[in-house]
Structure 1
Amino acid sequence: MIRKRLALVITAAAALASGLVAVVVTAGPAAAATVSQPLRTMVANLPVATEVRTGYDRDLFNHWIDADSDGCNTRYEVLIAEATTAPSVGSGCALSGGAWLSYYDGETWTDPSDLDIDHMVPLAESWDSGSRNWTSAQREAYANDIGDARPLVAVTDNVNQSKSDQDPAEWIPSLASVRCRYITEWTAVKTRWGLTVDTAEKSALTTYAAACTNSTVTVVTVIGGGTTTSPTITTSPTATASPTVTATGGTCTGSNGTDVTVPDAGAAVASSITISGCSRTAASATSTVYVNVVHTFRGDLSIWLYAPDGSYYILKAASSSDSAANVDTTYTANLSSETANGTWSLSVKDNYSGDTGYLSTWTLTV
Structure 2
Amino acid sequence: MSTPHRTAWLMAATLALAATATVVGLGVAQPAQAATITKPLRTLIADLPVATEVRTGYNRDLFPHWIDADGDGCNTRYEVLIAEAVTAPTVGSGCSLTGGRWFSYYDGVYWTLPADLDVDHFVPLAEAWDSGARNWTTAQRQSYANDLGDARTLAAVTDNVNQSKGDKDPAEWMPPLTSVYCRYIAEWAAAKTRWGLTVDTAEKSSLTSRAAACTNVTITVVTVLGGGGGSTPTPTASAPAACTGTNGTNVTIPDTGATVSSTITISGCSRPASATATIEVHVVHAYRGDVVISLVAPDGTAYSLKAYDSADSAANVDTTYTRNLSSETAAGAWSLRIYDAYTGDTGYLDTWTLRV
| TM superposition score normalised by structure 2 | 0.58
Residue 2 in structure 1 maps to residue 20 in structure 2: no
Contact 2:34 2:222 in 1 (8 A): yes
Contact 1:67 1:73 in 2 (8 A): yes
Contact 1:6 1:145 in 2 (8 A): no
Q: What is the SS of the residue equivalent to 2:56?
A: coil
Contact 2:29 2:224 in 1 (8 A): no
Q: Residues 215-234 of structure 1: matches in 2 within 5 Å?
A: 215-226=217-228
- The aligned residue for residue 250 of structure 1 is none
Segments of 5+ residues of structure 2 without an aligned counterpart are: 7-21, 230-356
- The aligned residue for residue 210 of structure 2 is 208
- The aligned residue for residue 57 of structure 1 is 59
Question: Matches of 1:168 and 1:226 in 2, distance apart?
Answer: 18
Question: Matches of 2:120 and 2:24 in 1, distance apart?
Answer: 17
Question: Matches of 2:135 and 2:26 in 1, distance apart?
Answer: 19
Question: What displacement does 1:224 show?
Answer: 1.3
Question: What displacement does 1:195 show?
Answer: 0.1
- The aligned residue for residue 177 of structure 1 is 179
1:180 partner amino acid:
C
- Would you identify which runs of 4 or more consecutive aligned residues in structure 1 move more than 4 Å? none
- The aligned residue for residue 89 of structure 2 is 87
- Deviations along 1:37-95, one digit per CA (max 9) or x if unpaired, are 00000000000000000000000000000000000000000000000000000011000
2:25 partner amino acid:
A
Question: Matches of 1:221 and 1:110 in 2, distance apart?
Answer: 34
Question: Matches of 1:216 and 1:7 in 2, distance apart?
Answer: 26
- Deviations along 1:139-163, one digit per CA (max 9) or x if unpaired, are 0000000100100000000000000
Question: Matches of 1:214 and 1:111 in 2, distance apart?
Answer: 36
- The aligned residue for residue 142 of structure 2 is 140
**CA, structure 1 residues 153+27, in 2 after alignment: closer, same or farther (shift >3 Å)?**
closer
Please provide the CA RMSD for this pair: 1.5
- Deviations along 1:193-243, one digit per CA (max 9) or x if unpaired, are 00000000000000111000000010000001136xxxxxxxxxxxxxxxx
Segments of 5+ residues of structure 1 without an aligned counterpart are: 10-25, 228-366
- Deviations along 1:308-352, one digit per CA (max 9) or x if unpaired, are xxxxxxxxxxxxxxxxxxxxxxxxxxxxxxxxxxxxxxxxxxxxx
Q: What is the SS of the residue equivalent to 1:2?
A: helix
Residue 48 in structure 1 maps to residue 50 in structure 2: yes
Contact 2:29 2:143 in 1 (8 A): no
2:162 partner amino acid:
N
Question: Matches of 1:49 and 1:145 in 2, distance apart?
Answer: 24
Contact 1:6 1:144 in 2 (8 A): no
2:41 partner amino acid:
L
Contact 1:103 1:178 in 2 (8 A): yes
Residue in structure 2 matching 1:166, options 157, 162, 168: 168
Q: What is the SS of the residue equivalent to 1:218?
A: strand
- The aligned residue for residue 14 of structure 1 is none
- Give me the identity figure in percent: 74
Residue 155 in structure 1 maps to residue 173 in structure 2: no
Contact 1:88 1:95 in 2 (8 A): yes
Contact 1:6 1:67 in 2 (8 A): no
Question: What displacement does 1:174 show?
Answer: 1.2
Q: What is the SS of the residue equivalent to 1:105?
A: coil
Question: Matches of 1:49 and 1:29 in 2, distance apart?
Answer: 24
- The aligned residue for residue 99 of structure 1 is 101
- The aligned residue for residue 132 of structure 2 is 130
Contact 1:46 1:226 in 2 (8 A): yes
Q: What is the SS of the residue equivalent to 1:70?
A: coil
Question: What displacement does 1:27 show?
Answer: 6.8
Question: What displacement does 1:29 show?
Answer: 3.1
Question: What displacement does 1:190 show?
Answer: 0.2
Question: Matches of 1:130 and 1:225 in 2, distance apart?
Answer: 12
Question: What displacement does 1:6 show?
Answer: 4.9
**CA, structure 1 residues 103+36, in 2 after alignment: closer, same or farther (shift >3 Å)?**
same
Question: What displacement does 1:5 show?
Answer: 4.8
Aligned residues: 211
Q: Residues 1-366 of structure 1: matches in 2 within 5 Å?
A: 2-3=5-6, 5-8=23-26, 28-226=30-228
Question: Matches of 2:217 and 2:46 in 1, distance apart?
Answer: 14
Q: What is the SS of the residue equivalent to 2:5?
A: coil
Question: What displacement does 1:2 show?
Answer: 3.1
2:148 partner amino acid:
I
| TM superposition score normalised by structure 1 | 0.56
Question: What displacement does 1:31 show?
Answer: 1.8
